[in-house]
Amino acid sequence: MDDLALATDGGDGMTDDVAVLGAGMHPWGKWGRDFVEYGTAAARAALADAGLDWRDIGSVVGADTVRGGYPGYVAGATFAKALGWQGARVTSVYAACASGAQAVAAARAQILAGLADVVLVVGADAAPKGFFRPAGGDRPDDPDWLRFRLLGATNPAYFGLYARRRMAVHGDTPEDFALVKVKNAALGALNPYARYRKRVTPEEVAASAVVADPLRLLDICATSDGGAALVLSSMDFAHRHGAARPVRIRAVSTVTPRFPSTVLDLPDIATDCSVAVAAPAETFRASIARAAYEEAGIGPEDLSLAEVYDLSTALELQWYEDLGLCGEGEGVKLLREGATAPGGRIPVNTSGGLASFGEAVPAQAIAQVCELTWQLRGTAGDRQVTGARAGITANQGLFGHGSSVVAVR
């Protein structure tokens, strides 16, 4: 853990580090306004947090907002126009739920390539009510369209199938899933940006309506409006700007699956055959985390916290295992020991997670990095993890988009 130690003593650490000078969010909810308003508010909050003027920004990377299965807006230029044209370089990124992390990766690459000293990363959404659905028309080469038309598999249906798999393979129970919601709701109640700020009990989870058996309404995340933004810079710029020990992005993993893929994962509705070619030693989700750890030069034992993609309570448990926080099938044990709760060995989703926020697709991976930033700075208030030094994010976008960011201080 030498690199991490170097990052805590004011040294530059690895040459591929970039600084997080600013983090900002627009609260999640159902506000009924244009997504540009949410992203612009988050961007201005991040700029204020960084102590910079919009004219100081050399590049804008926008995580695309999507409507009905296709990119509906040029997000980077949309935000640049809303903030006021000033000639900045512009980039737009679409990777479904991994869009925010890929936007961070694009910004980081520009900084390390010397194309810009300071980059604004921003994503926002005004999501439809209910679950996401595909656009109309016939698109037989689109796996997302196929899983709706051939299987009728909405996102909640997938969440339910995955929960059933954990029950069959690992012996998890609906009562175990409910404890994830209880933990995340308690943390969301402490987060001013969260949509749902009310604690719940296991009994309340059990009493909520069944959506996709065995999962109930309080087991799955909603669709939401919201925005998040980051101001990233080179380490040289950060030091010149007076930030002696900024939070640093140490790694960004955006890997794809390996052939053959033998674990069913929507929107794909079939797996590859492993008769001729042996299956990889690890699953796609596990490979996302491994790539991030290898680039960062740390392991799961070095983490202070993790922000993971809890589309459902059962999926959070799966991420515990995929991140190497515990062995396969031991997610429930980790949860019940209190290891992933505040004060535990490795708190998970200190923000409250998607359980408390809901999905604002282009913004959520950026929001995860915002939470790491505040935790590593020691400014997370009642959610603060004592002595936080390293954190990881993890999520997954449709069509094989991996997403994981490691931040240190």
Give the mean model confidence (pLDDT) for residues 139-164.
88
Rounded to the nearest 5 degrees, what angle is found at the Cα of 55, between the Cα atoms of 101 and 14?
45
Do 15-130+226-246 and 143-212+249-408 have matching folds? yes
Give the mean model confidence (pLDDT) for residues 301-310.
98
Reply yes or no on whether the pLDDT at 151 is more than 50: yes
CA distances from 75 to 35, 99, 227, 362 (A): 10, 11, 12, 10
- Above pLDDT 90, what percent of the chain? 79
> How buried is 390 (Cβ within 10 angstroms: 0-12 exposed, 13-18 middle, 19+ buried)?
buried
pLDDT, tens digit (0-9, with 9 covering 90-100), for 323-360: 999 999 999 999 999 999 999 999 999 999 999 999 99
Band of residue 4 on the pLDDT scale cut at 50, 70, 90 = low
pLDDT, tens digit (0-9, with 9 covering 90-100), for 41-80: 999 999 999 999 999 999 999 999 866 444 556 789 999 9
Average pLDDT, the chain: 92
- Phi/psi for 131 (5° steps) reads -85, 160
Q: What is the pLDDT of residue 135?
A: 67
Which DSSP letter does residue 167 get? H
Q: What is the pLDDT of residue 241?
A: 96
Whether 125 contacts 38, CB under 8 Å: yes
CATH class for the domain made up of 143-212+249-408? alpha beta
Rounded to two decimals, the pTM is: 0.94
Reply yes or no on whether the pLDDT at 287 is more than 60: yes
How far apart CA 286 and CA 281 sit, in angstroms, is: 10
Indicate the domain borders of the chain.
15-130+226-246, 143-212+249-408
Closest CA to 21 of 337, 270, 234: 234
Q: What is the pLDDT of residue 143?
A: 84
- Lowest pLDDT segment from 21-35, 118-132, 327-341: 118-132
CATH class for the domain made up of 15-130+226-246? alpha beta
CA distances from 70 to 139, 210, 394 (A): 12, 30, 23
Q: What is the pLDDT of residue 200?
A: 98
If one compares 162 and 7, the residue with the highest pLDDT of the two is 162
For residue 134, cis peptide bond before it (omega within 30 degrees of 0): no
